[in-house]
Chains A and B, each alone.
Chain A
Amino acid sequence: MFRTVAELVEQANQEIKKISDIMIDQEVEVTGRSRNDILSMMEQNLIVMEKAVERGINGVQSHSGLTGGDAVLMQKYLQKGQFLAGDTILDAVSKAMATNEVNAAMGIICATPTAGSAGVVPGTLFALKNKLNPTREQMLAYLFTAGAFGYVIANNASISGAAGGCQAEVGSAAGMAAAAIVEMRGGTPNQCAEAMAITLKNMLGLVCDPVAGLVEVPCVKRNAMGAANAIVASDMALAGIKSKIPCDEVIDAMFKIGQSMPTALKETGQGGLAATPTGRKLEAKIFGKPIK
């Protein structure tokens, strides 16, 4: 059983296995289910992710009217071919937003690790699918690697916006995705951990301040930027760049920052963007009156 990223990486190195295999082995051990059962359960999640991306890039609107359609705009912009950032990044941005737009519309998604942060992992995965043409098994491995890092974060810090702010949700999702990207691109377990650390470091302090308490503004665009962050960090790790602060210590810092964050900035709709004049105006328009 691994409890920390250091233990996870050490186990992978000792057994000369990928992070994803270590996660599958542990799942077999903990649940008593067969490897095949576990793979087919993950396949169900992958199918849900694929459908949500597909629905979102074809256009969806939330009930409040606050979000929807941005994934489509980005796809159209990509097709024109005149962009500055890379096509993989922008495709990931579009597909991350697609998933969260479906989530905001109360559509069916797979939480990764949460619903509010459900766009980052599938967004990057389905952008990489176009670029790297992975097998279905490699796509499942991507989710197990992401899950392994998320497992460490959830048990040592938090994946709840109400407990730890957005850094615990989109921050965690982005770190999980960065590690999974590195493995899919042939990086080492150590490089997976570096990518995760670099990503999470750049998400520290991010507050959870949803307008009108809805998982829409700024959540959809935070997933977009979480996906971009993950892809850039994977390139940095594969370039050989290392985080001076070890991954486990970054996770611990994230936990402590979350604890010291005021309640107004932890999913209460009371502070940050929710409390801006426009945030309040939108809230009044949707619910008739501000929450508080």
Chain B
Amino acid sequence: MKYRSVFDIIGPIMIGPSSSHTAGAARIGRVARSLFSREPKWVKISLYGSFAQTYRGHGTDVAIVGGLFDFDTFDKRIIDSITIAQQKGIVVQFLIEEAIPYHPNTARVRIGDENGELELVGISIGGGKIEVIEVDGFALRLSGNHPAILVFHHDKYGTIASVSNVLSKYLINIGHMEVARKEVGKQALMTIEVDQMIDPSIIKELEKLDNISKVTKIAD
């Protein structure tokens, strides 16, 4: 079941005009911001499918940029987000892609500064609900049917056990889990699908563990 809560259907509270192209777009930007954990200096956004065809009318462009400023779906500053970016000297570039995407509402968000870069592909599946299908070249093989978190960590023994210990303490069952790394002993990524919803306080607790650099909820 991709939609688990009644508030996926009655909600979100948002500024118009489109739940998929505005609210969903803002949420894609916000996940990228959360993973990058700081304001980027430059932004490159590729829009595909229906996003590419109708982004101007739906405010998809301002919504993604607003999400990168961590604005929620109902934050009116979304409307002026591109102007805000200009004032802050952030370079924002949009690429309108011709390629046929896997889902009609697809955006590839690339952001960065002098200290690093992040690339993320998100799809907006309707009613404001989104799925993240790729992060930094790691394809996320999530079913979309369960809540999921991403854990960026240092590739070191005991880290996976410490994460699963915290989850078990809160009676959260792991349904599917993948671990990937680019090099031995360097940055690695855990993708964890669970059966229960994860409270923000658990995310904070996970982030305090040794060798964990970032934890983000990517699906409710």
The answer to whether A and B belong to the same complex is: yes
- Kindly state whether residue A287 has any CB partner on chain B within 8 Å: yes
Cβ contact within 8 Å between B3 and A151: yes
- Kindly state whether residue B15 has any CB partner on chain A within 8 Å: yes
In whole Å, how far is B41's beta carbon from the nearest beta carbon of chain A? 28
Contact A41-B18, Cβ < 8 Å, known A108-B74, A159-B126, A215-B57: no
Q: Which of A98-112 contact B (CB under 8 A)?
A: 102-112
In whole Å, how far is B27's beta carbon from the nearest beta carbon of chain A? 12
Interface residues of B, dominant DSSP: mixed
The complex places the Cα of A159 from the Cα of B19 at a distance, in Å, of 10
In whole Å, how far is B105's beta carbon from the nearest beta carbon of chain A? 5
* B22: nearest chain-A partner, CB-CB: A115
* B170: nearest chain-A partner, CB-CB: A32
In whole Å, how far is B83's beta carbon from the nearest beta carbon of chain A? 14
Contact A112-B6, Cβ < 8 Å, known A3-B1, A102-B16, A214-B17: no
Cβ contact within 8 Å between B127 and A160: yes
Contact A104-B74, Cβ < 8 Å, known A45-B11, A151-B9, A155-B1: no
- Kindly state whether residue B125 has any CB partner on chain A within 8 Å: yes
How many residues of A sit at the interface, in one of the four size bands?
A: 35 or more
* B60: nearest chain-A partner, CB-CB: A213
The complex places the Cα of A176 from the Cα of B129 at a distance, in Å, of 18
B residues touching A (Cβ–Cβ < 8 Å)? 1-23, 49-50, 53-59, 74, 76, 79, 103-105, 124-129, 196-197
24 contacts between A and B (CB under 8 A): A27-B6, A30-B4, A109-B15, A111-B127, A112-B9, A113-B127, A114-B128, A115-B17, A116-B18, A150-B9, A151-B6, A154-B3, A154-B9, A155-B1, A155-B3, A160-B104, A162-B126, A213-B55, A214-B57, A214-B58, A215-B16, A216-B17, A266-B104, A267-B21
| Other 15 A-B pairs with CB < 8 A, given A104-B17, A267-B21 | A23-B6, A102-B16, A104-B16, A107-B16, A109-B13, A110-B11, A110-B12, A111-B11, A114-B20, A115-B128, A118-B16, A121-B10, A155-B3, A160-B126, A213-B58
A residues touching B (Cβ–Cβ < 8 Å)? 1, 3, 23-24, 26-27, 30-32, 38, 41-42, 44-45, 48, 102-116, 118, 121, 143-144, 146-148, 150-151, 154-155, 158-163, 168, 176, 210, 212-216, 263, 266-270, 287, 291-292
